[in-house]
Structure 1
Amino acid sequence: MDMDDVLAEIGEWGRYQKLVVWLILLPGVLPCGFHAYDQLFMAAVPPHWCRVPELDPWVQNHMNHVINISIPFENKDGTWKPNECNVYVRNYSTLSKLSGLQQFINVPFDTPTKFCDHGWHFDRSDYISTVVTEWNLVCDKKFYLTLALMLFGVGGLVGNYIFGYVQDSLGRRPAFFIYLAIQCFFGIATAFARDYTTWLIFRIGVGFTVPAILGTPYVLAIELVGTKKRTLCTILINIAYSLALILLAILVWAIRDWRLLALSTTLPFVSFFLFWWALPESPRWLLARGKFQEADKIFRKIARMNKTRLPPNYLTLLKRKYDSDRLLSKKSDTQHYGVLDLFKTPNLCQKTLIITFIWFTNTSVYVGLSYYAPALGGDEFLNFFLAGAVELPTYIFLWPAMDWIGRRWTLCASMIIGGVACLATFLVKNDSEITLALYCIGKMGISSSFVVLPLMASELYPTVVRGLGMSMSSVLGMLGPIFIPLVNYLGGEMLILPLLIMGVLLIAGGISSLLLPETLGQTLPQSLADGEKIGIGCMNLCNTRDQKEENKLKMKSEETAV
């Protein structure tokens, strides 16, 4: 008897699991969604132009006159806009009244310019205050914003790596609250930063918990339910994350001051520490650690709330099962598996490289498109809202698609459709509305593939190296959020360039996915030898439904033989 057998008796998706998932684990997704992207709006760059001290008296009531006589214009993305970093060299001190200001409107063609040396004026119509307006992070300091996003990604890479050890050694429950405490501390501290360096340190601290803090709601939801409900929980967690992006869009639209925004995206989650008394530890983790009495308390609570009964002598049978597993594990300690085992055979090596490349592509493009939403032009709050909202319809067809046409073709189609949509923006680069529509299609595609990939990868890696493979692929995939801000930085000169780069990545990942074998209906490989039996390079158009039926018959015959 194992835990799945126990859940079959006391309820795989009963009242207890539903309450924990809906009231605790799904809300537990919100901190990650909020803190992953609130920095985009804290560091938003409003339209700006050089400040001329002599013209300050006319700025409030005659802004257009001030800009026309002092700021050169430049063609940017097909539109003439005031230069953000240079000012005309003129004798502004002679202007003492409005009539004098008007006579300077006609600027000679050969008027020299210079870099702003008295700061900037910022358009406050969209934002009351951002770190950019407060510390003049524009022009020669513009890269500071990209650097902040890159170091935020580095913090996430390190934090995610450490989180795995914390979650496996201390448990799912303590890991969540440790990272929640770190996130709340640095999130609140962000609001009180007095300079860019301090703000950057606090943001790295927040980044340390992103996306690691998402791990506990995801893993605990999977481990509390039966095997038939794991796909449902995966979809629900992804829906909750998309809703977090939608809620963040509404919040940043309502709060235009970066310090208030930092507090608003953090303080509500302090209340999550009340979950300490309601959030259970994973019974699977407790059993694996030999903490049978603690697991028994949780099982009894599940049975009581689900109005079911525990099997007789179930705890004795569980002890026997897990003691036997530990004994076998000790006997097999002579066979240690490491990362190099993922590359020992050509078959597994190719699958590892392809999965890792696709993981890098998915992470890079998903984060890149989310970062890019405010830069699309038009209403950046609406753009970000749509970036989250368009993910929701994908889950309607994604679930049946994975079971009908298979994991591989679902993954491939999602990435190819998203990639083509991103590349198509080149054809309509001067039409912001069509560009936004194509962007949304690209976001739908990458959102779908991001759900399929982890499932498919877990079905391809053999059990003995599954944890290593998933960990390595996901960690290397997180290199994407470190470098993707550079791609968006390049988009400052050419709006659609980041979309073109991400489109190429998506199509390359989609084509690569066809090199992987279909896993629908396949039994999970246990050993490296089992993994070798699952082929590579099978770019065929075979009917996956027929494959599924064939696999079922094969497994049935094997069970009969046993």
Structure 2
Amino acid sequence: MTKCHCSIAIMVNFDVILNDIGVITRLQWTQLSMLAITGLMAGMHMTAMVFLGYNQLHQCSMPIQEGITKECNITWTEEMTESSRSLKEESGKLDQCTRFTHQTIDCTFWTSGNQTLNPVFEKCDNWTYDTSLFDTTVVSEFNLVCDHKQQGRLSQAVFMTGVMLGCTAWGQISDRFGRRMATIAPMAISVGAGIVTAFTKSFLQFTIARFIIGMNIMGSLASAYVLASEIVKPTHKPWVCQSMNAMFAVGVCILTALSYFKREWRRLQLWISIPGFTLLLVSWHMIESPRWLLSQGEHRKASRIIKRFMNGKEKKDSEEIQKLHQLANSEKDGEHTVMKRDTILDIVKLPNMRKKSLIQFYIWSAASMLYYGLTMNSGEIGDNPFINLLLSALVEFPALYLSILTLQKWGRRPSLASTMICSGTVCICIMFVPKEIPWLNVTLASVGKFFVSMGFSIAWIYATELYPTTARNAGHGICNSCARLGGMTAPFVAMLDVLGFAVPYVVFGIMGVMAGILALLLPEVLGKKIPETLQEAEQFGKKRKGISL
């Protein structure tokens, strides 16, 4: 097959064609329904560690009890348990990571209580866990407590590293081989890795398996998101894109319900992996993006899909549709005029695209840090992790659909800036609320999640409109990778709670406010034709005064 790589603009205005089609057709609804599965799967896997890695209450196992009953030839009573508890408090040295040794056994003390005891301590090597909320978690099975406490958060950081690398790789693959393949293939890998995760025998195996899931699950969602945005007309795009984002929240709600009924982490992991098979079973019916096909010179394939979109409607073809059909009919077998494929290196070489890209990179990173910082910490605020995460997910629905109104009325730039500034400000306010008032902390965290959900979803839409068709998935993929860098950093920022309960939220807040300010430097795209080539994207918003990077 012969391909001519050209840098000329696409001759067909695809937005006009989509406008001519009008309402969303049955075929488009079918495609959007299939693509929505990626959002469900991403929502479950991205937040699964809230329950898989829940930090169960624990204490050292106390072999001293058995030693006392044997050496003192007595029966352990409830009164002796109380004496033991009092003794622990009086010593002031015992915690969840140390315990009495057998050297502390003094039969006179345990029988009369008159003997002063000078206890000797040792580090725990075994713990008992509270099973009132969960039967087992990764923490209890692999003893991720005391000296190993931070390994759970490190595992989440490794997962986010996989997401970051995967989004970059699958973004490039999507622009090179198509949106369809870059949606289905990573989903298949994610399903397989998810099932393997449920049978891992060590924490290292668990972390590696989760890393593989991370490398693929968001890559599938990002490709599906771009595909969904490219098959609907501009006025439908905010509704479609925000509905895709809403499916992520639906996935979090499903995860919460499953975790409530499946209190054992291995079973929960299996249940959140199996739904991915649904997409694989119907993947044969998924179409390629006609806009991407046009960028590859595949006019015949694009024309056939447009005819299917028209669904046999008896209406006169517009000038653009006729132009597409003419190009398809004149196309020789095996020959395609392909637009030059642009990479992220091509993007950052141009000053205006470099400025817009760097600003977006920071905004995505900050938004992700806030989003996952508030989501993953939801189990640490208040007493019920199920209710906390469910509330955290439910606030996303009004946030996402309210943002549609702001997008259509105010535009992308003011909507993004205002929501990020509001989210950051609310997070900073947490520093003024004592930890002992959990309901107020949960309320503020939920309000912060409300605004960052709006901001993050707007950033997703914004990126698909600022990057050209020839590099849309590559640019979107790099933005997604920067977001995962923020998400990867969030667990480490959460570790700052050793300095104070509110310190992580202050850091999240400052990042959010700065992102909102930087958003004001981006060009508005409301009512504008989205760029098809890198040259168009470079000129887009160039006349607007701003900074040069």
Q: Structure 1 337/265 Cα, relative in aligned 2: closer, same or farther at 3 Å?
A: closer
In the alignment, does 2:184 pair up with 1:177? yes
Structure 1: how far apart are the matches of 2:258 and 2:252? 10
1:426-450 CA distances to partner (integer Å, 9 max, x unpaired)?
Answer: 1112311000000001001111111
Post-superposition offset of 1:349? 4.8
1:392-437 CA distances to partner (integer Å, 9 max, x unpaired)?
Answer: 1113421121232332222222112211211111111231100000
Per the alignment, residue 287 of structure 1 pairs with 294
Per the alignment, residue 86 of structure 1 pairs with 98
Q: Structure 1 10/400 Cα, relative in aligned 2: closer, same or farther at 3 Å?
A: closer
Which amino acid is the alignment partner of residue 68 of structure 1? R
CA contact (8 A) 2:294 2:302 kept: yes
CA contact (8 A) 1:300 1:310 kept: no
Instruction: State, as a whole percentage, how many aligned pairs show the same letter.
Output: 27
Structure 2 counterpart SS, 1:114: strand
Structure 2: how far apart are the matches of 1:414 and 1:29? 22
Structure 2: how far apart are the matches of 1:444 and 1:476? 21
Post-superposition offset of 1:107? 8.5
Structure 2: how far apart are the matches of 1:222 and 1:367? 24
Task: Identify which of 213, 226, 235 aligns with 1:206.
Answer: 213
Per the alignment, residue 85 of structure 2 pairs with 68
Which amino acid is the alignment partner of residue 116 of structure 1? C
CA contact (8 A) 2:175 2:471 kept: no
Which amino acid is the alignment partner of residue 317 of structure 1? Q
Per the alignment, residue 388 of structure 2 pairs with 383
1:190-246 CA distances to partner (integer Å, 9 max, x unpaired)?
Answer: 111111111111111111113111123312222222222112211111121111111
Moved more, 513-522 or 363-372: 513-522
Q: Structure 1 397/107 Cα, relative in aligned 2: closer, same or farther at 3 Å?
A: farther
Per the alignment, residue 220 of structure 1 pairs with 227
CA contact (8 A) 1:9 1:308 kept: no
CA contact (8 A) 1:354 1:512 kept: yes
In the alignment, does 2:371 pair up with 1:363? no
- Kindly tell me the number of residue pairs found equivalent between the two proteins: 520
Which amino acid is the alignment partner of residue 402 of structure 2? F
In the alignment, does 2:439 pair up with 1:422? no
Per the alignment, residue 454 of structure 2 pairs with 448
Q: Structure 1 113/239 Cα, relative in aligned 2: closer, same or farther at 3 Å?
A: same
1:265-319 CA distances to partner (integer Å, 9 max, x unpaired)?
Answer: 1123223322123222223333333444444443343333x64568386653243
In the alignment, does 2:439 pair up with 1:410? no
Per the alignment, residue 271 of structure 1 pairs with 278
CA contact (8 A) 2:399 2:450 kept: yes
Q: Structure 1 59/183 Cα, relative in aligned 2: closer, same or farther at 3 Å?
A: farther
Which amino acid is the alignment partner of residue 408 of structure 1? R
In the alignment, does 2:531 pair up with 1:514? no
TM-score w.r.t. length of structure 1: 0.82
Structure 1: how far apart are the matches of 2:489 and 2:269? 24
Task: Identify which of 359, 369, 374 aligns with 2:379.
Answer: 374
Which amino acid is the alignment partner of residue 419 of structure 1? G
In the alignment, does 2:488 pair up with 1:479? no
Instruction: Name stretches of at least 5 consecutive residues in structure 1 with no aligned partner.
Output: 76-80, 539-562
Post-superposition offset of 1:20? 2.8
TM-score w.r.t. length of structure 2: 0.83
Q: Structure 1 59/204 Cα, relative in aligned 2: closer, same or farther at 3 Å?
A: farther
- CA RMSD for the aligned pairs? 3.6
Q: Structure 1 140/282 Cα, relative in aligned 2: closer, same or farther at 3 Å?
A: same
Structure 2: how far apart are the matches of 1:74 and 1:359? 50
In the alignment, does 2:239 pair up with 1:232? yes
Structure 2: how far apart are the matches of 1:329 and 1:293? 16
Answer 1 or 2: higher relative contact order, Cα 8 Å, separation at least 6: 2
Q: Structure 1 463/263 Cα, relative in aligned 2: closer, same or farther at 3 Å?
A: closer
Which amino acid is the alignment partner of residue 61 of structure 2? R
Q: Structure 1 73/534 Cα, relative in aligned 2: closer, same or farther at 3 Å?
A: farther
In the alignment, does 2:138 pair up with 1:131? yes
CA contact (8 A) 2:164 2:480 kept: no
Task: Identify which of 104, 110, 122 aligns with 1:114.
Answer: 122
CA contact (8 A) 2:171 2:475 kept: no
Per the alignment, residue 353 of structure 1 pairs with 358
Per the alignment, residue 397 of structure 1 pairs with 402
CA contact (8 A) 2:171 2:478 kept: no
Which amino acid is the alignment partner of residue 535 of structure 1? K
1:437-494 CA distances to partner (integer Å, 9 max, x unpaired)?
Answer: 0000100111111122233445556788766654444433321122211111232563
Instruction: Name stretches of at least 5 consecutive residues in structure 2 with no aligned partner.
Output: 1-11, 70-74
Structure 2: how far apart are the matches of 1:64 and 1:371? 37
Q: Structure 1 459/212 Cα, relative in aligned 2: closer, same or farther at 3 Å?
A: closer
Structure 2: how far apart are the matches of 1:512 and 1:383? 31
In the alignment, does 2:22 pair up with 1:17? no
Structure 2 counterpart SS, 1:26: helix
CA contact (8 A) 1:355 1:473 kept: yes
Post-superposition offset of 1:92? 5.7
1:337-384 CA distances to partner (integer Å, 9 max, x unpaired)?
Answer: 863763654x65544433322221112211221111111131011111
Structure 2: how far apart are the matches of 1:506 and 1:515? 15
Q: Structure 1 65/522 Cα, relative in aligned 2: closer, same or farther at 3 Å?
A: same
